[in-house]
Amino acid sequence: MFGADRVTGVNIAPDQVELAKKRGVPCKLQVMDAGQLEFDPEVFDAILCIEAAFHFKSRLSFLKNAHKALKPGGKLVMSDLFFRTGHGVEPQIFPPENRINSLSEYIDVFAEAGFSPRLVSVEKTTELQLVPFMADLATQANLFNEEIRAGTALEWGRARHVVRSLLNISDSVIVVAEKESSDGS
């Protein structure tokens, strides 16, 4: 839509970047740790991060570097996950410094990174997207018996609760954070 020459993709795994290139992905692809973005200041109109920031070392470092790389008025659009506990969560894959306990704490991380809280919009999508999606996957994998799948809304709600509990996810969110323009808007 914007022209492949205007899109840059970043991935920490060299084999995944190489595979994307072999498959003909036409945009610029770079091996880079997104938690340590190495771009000049104010070069991007937008940054997109889909369900990855909770893996970065750290989310705060990513947000600071994304803020720096955005042009004034540029937008960071993210989907992100919060985990209920650290139990069973591999710290190398889910760094403990990324644990978030509330939406207000989450917005505070954006503010610490340089985003004005008034320009950060966070929408919880847990019950709208994540839980139904994972419950459908569990159903397709035959993890729920026929009685539950054909049962009442209460039984299906309990099954969805089981899926959510097994995932250790407290919330999923969609975020739009805009870098303040030089005129303060």
Lowest mean pLDDT among 4-13, 19-28, 64-73, 118-127: 118-127
Average pLDDT over residues 162-180: 81
pLDDT over 70 percentage in the chain = 76
> Which two three-digit tokens encode residue 19?
């595979």
Q: Is the pTM of this model over 0.85?
A: no
Greatest mean pLDDT among 83-97, 112-126, 160-174 = 112-126
User: CA 125 to CA 123: how far, in whole Å?
Assistant: 6
| 165 three-state secondary structure | helix
**Mean pLDDT, all residues of the chain:** 84
Identify the band that residue 95 occupies on the pLDDT scale cut at 50, 70 and 90: confident
List pLDDT tens digits, range 41-51.
999 999 999 98
Identify the band that residue 140 occupies on the pLDDT scale cut at 50, 70 and 90: confident
| Per-residue model confidence (pLDDT) at position 81 | 87
Q: For residues 143 and 103, which has the higher predicted lDDT (pLDDT)? A: 103
* Cβ proximity of 28 and 43 under 8 Å: no
Sheet order of strands, 44-50 included: 44-50, 70-83, 169-178, 120-124
User: CA 33 to CA 75: how far, in whole Å?
Assistant: 20
